[in-house]
Amino acid sequence: MPRILSVNPAILMAAPRVRRRWSLLLVVLAACCLALAAADKDYYEVLGVSRDASSAEIKRAFRKLSLKHHPDKNPGDENAAQKFAEVASAYDVLSDGEKKTKYDRYGEEGLSNQGGGGSHDPFDIFSQFFGGGRQRRENEPSRGPDVMMPLRVSLADLYNGKSLQFSIRREVRGEYYLRSGVEMADLNFDIDLDKGTADGFEIELENYADEIPGQPAGHVRLQVLTAPHPLFTREGDHLWMDMDISLRESLVGFNKTFTHLDGRWVEVVRDEITPPRFVTVLKGEGMPKKNVPSERGQLHIKFHVQFPETLSDEQKVGFRELFSMK
């Protein structure tokens, strides 16, 4: 059963130039070492897939491993740079039908003798995969229509991360469908939703749309849609919430608690005057940041002072005396 790992590589592709140059140097050195040892490497083992792995499985493996070992996430780590180069080289071969056929028949030596191997810039392969992954190659056959489907989740799912089960029904064709030539089939998926996944993020299931004669099936795109939360509102990596306080609490301070999205009780303490619509910020209590879940955004709390509708004569006297004091 395929497992879809949702990722967002934007933070990696926007690395500073200086760090990129250092990372590039490490990867170039790693690629040189890799070329010397290529004969001992099994590209399928490098990606952790079987020899009969589908194109979608190969892409998922590359997506996961390239993000894990990217030099920008592992600055100065030569082992990570070498692993990144190996993963890119393996994907460059196994994602190309012609190269893959040669490799399956003759191994790495067959690629070298017949021209072309995993020798491209690993950063180019990474960028093409994430930046232009939806563009069809010239020699890639056109596919059937893609299908967009909503993946409805809660804000807590995006805060904590969650493994979701998702089912789709599609048309499938085969020789054993003798009458109409088409049947409906149910497909089930386990989808890993990363902490901090953005609302609107798309998860692509390649070639799982309806099957069409003479063409590969189109892709199914699941778009993450977040259900409204009764307490929190999300803005990127930050969260907002409203908190009601009494007039007394606004003047003399308060100690309040609320339940966060992971079930923790969070304490809010103020000893100062809190004017209406005042906003306080709790650092590190916002959403986990994508690809760096140990870091979190901010939680903004907006206070609303609840004024009493009426005051007794005795209370009025008390307030007059209070505000007349210097």
Please list the pLDDT of the chain residue by residue as tens digits (326 residues): 344 333 344 433 433 343 444 455 455 455 444 444 444 578 999 999 888 887 778 888 888 888 888 887 777 888 888 898 898 888 988 888 888 888 888 777 767 655 445 446 787 777 676 654 444 444 555 788 888 889 999 999 999 999 888 888 888 876 544 445 677 888 887 888 889 999 998 888 888 888 877 778 888 888 999 999 999 999 999 999 999 999 999 999 999 999 999 999 999 999 999 999 999 999 999 999 987 888 999 999 999 999 999 999 998 898 888 888 76
Do residues 155 and 221 both lie within one domain? yes
For 123, the 3-state DSSP assignment is: helix
Classify residue 33: in a domain, yes or no: no
Q: How many domains does the chain have?
A: 3
Whole-number pLDDT of residue 110: 66
CA–CA distance, 124 with 142 (Å, rounded to integer): 24
> In this structure, are 151 and 223 located in the same domain?
yes
Q: Which of residues 208, 227, 246 is at a domain's end?
A: 227
Crossing angle of helices 78-94 and 97-113, rounded to 10°: 110
Burial class (CB in 10 A: 0-12, 13-18, 19+), 263: exposed
The reported pLDDT for the residue numbered 231 is: 97
| Alpha helices (H) in the chain, listed in sequence order | 10-13, 17-37, 43-47, 55-69, 78-94, 97-113, 122-131, 155-160, 247-252, 313-324
For residue 1, is it within any domain?
no
Considering the domain architecture, whether residues 288 and 223 belong to the same structural domain is answered as: no
CA distances from residue 88 to 81, 83, 85, 264 in whole angstroms, order as listed: 11, 9, 5, 41
d(CA 259, CA 280): 17
In a domain, 83, yes or no: yes
Domain assignment present for residue 135? The answer is no
For position 277, which CATH number holds?
Answer: 2.60.260.20
Q: Is residue 322 part of a domain?
A: no
Same domain, 287 and 237: yes
Residue 315 included in any domain: no
Paired with 4 in beta bridges are 191
> Based on the domain organization, do 253 and 212 belong to the same domain?
no
Whether residue 181 sits in one domain with residue 160:
yes
Q: Tell me which residue range forms the domain holding 211.
A: 147-227
Give residue 141's pLDDT: 59
Domain boundary among 192, 227, 262: 227
In a domain, 59, yes or no: yes
Does 197 share its domain with 244?
Answer: no
